[in-house]
Amino acid sequence: MQLADVKLDLSSAPADDSRREPVQVIAVTGGKGGTGKTSISVNLAHGLARSGRRTMLLDADLGMANVDVLLGLSPQRTLFDVVNGECRLEQIIMTTADGLMVVPAASGVRQLAQLGTRECAGLVRAFSDLDRPLDTLIVDTATGISECVASFCRAATEIIVVVCNEPASIRDSIAQIEMLSADYGIHRFRILANMVAGAREGKVVFRKIVATLADDHRQVLSYAGYIPRDQHLLEAIAGRISVVSAFPRSRAAMALANLARQVISWPQPVQAGGHVEFFVERLIQNENSGKEVTS
């Protein structure tokens, strides 16, 4: 696949970028499907937007996208059209009533699902065209250990790994962390326990992962908290709306609001201005140096 039609000019940023705060880029990923990763991405992004943060949500689960479904959106164009050079990234962005900017991908498109490292890098560079000041960019990656997942994680400032308290989820998340660390030099991860009974079970999930990786001192793992099992979340998904909007006083919504507050308090990047070209610069820096990108 060729991405020659995607504009990659990094000189398009406004001259006053230095006066803006850097954009925070958070990749939400997981080793196994079915952990609720996309629901976390959608609700975290929506919660940040509702709090007044200028937030963009990128659906980077390129071949099996469903961010638009969870938000009740009907995109006319997606990242598939950008990859094919039929439109610019700016033209596919959708904005919800709460001000959340959404970059939709396509579902069931093998061409997107099979992008390699070079193609994913070109896609990330397409963000250099955007002229939108941001506070936070949430990237909902695919699950597993594909080249595209690694590319998006390397370009992020923070990585949230969503894990459930079941053997397959824990095993696959550990495998994903080990691969990203050993093969791509990514060593900092924040673990989020999802669909657990409460705080105690959430800590149990975190400790299981820490115990397994204890002999490998490359990884730095932090506990990002937990999201409880909550029927309201299932009802929100069925209604194609975020739970933080539909049921703001539910257990899940309150836990997600707490996660959003944590995200705002995390250390902020300092390398670039408040536009998404920060995302691009991190990837280019990583490609050129072959070393770990640190915040």
**Sign of the Cα pseudo-torsion (94, 96, 101, 107, in order):** negative
Angle at the Cα of 67 from the Cα atoms of 64 and 69, rounded to 5 degrees: 95
Any domain includes 50: yes
pLDDT tens-place string over residues 10-63: 233 333 444 456 788 899 999 988 899 999 999 999 999 999 999 999 998 876
Assigned domain for 232 exists: yes
* Within-domain flag for 57: yes
Domain that holds residue 177: 28-282
Our CA angle for 184, 190, 194, nearest 5°, is: 120
Is 274 in contact with 21 (CB distance < 8 Å)?
yes
Total structural domains within the chain: 1
> Cα–chain-centroid distance for residue 246?
22
Read off the pLDDT of each residue in 208-231 and give the average, rounded to a whole number. 93
Q: Work out the average pLDDT over 207-223.
A: 91
The domain that holds 267 is classified in CATH as 3.40.50.300
> Crossing angle for the helix pair 167-184 and 147-155, nearest 10 degrees?
70
Report pTM: 0.84
pLDDT tens-digit map of 220-237: 999 999 999 999 999 999
* pLDDT class of 109 with cuts at 50, 70, 90: low
140 falls within a domain = yes
Determine, yes or no, domain membership for 294.
Answer: no
In a domain, 20, yes or no: no
**What distances in angstroms separate CA 132 from CA 50, 91, 109, one per listed residue?**
18, 13, 28
Q: Is residue 295 part of a domain?
A: no
Non-local CB neighbours of 167 within 8 Å, separated by 6+ positions: none
Residue 49 lies in a domain: yes
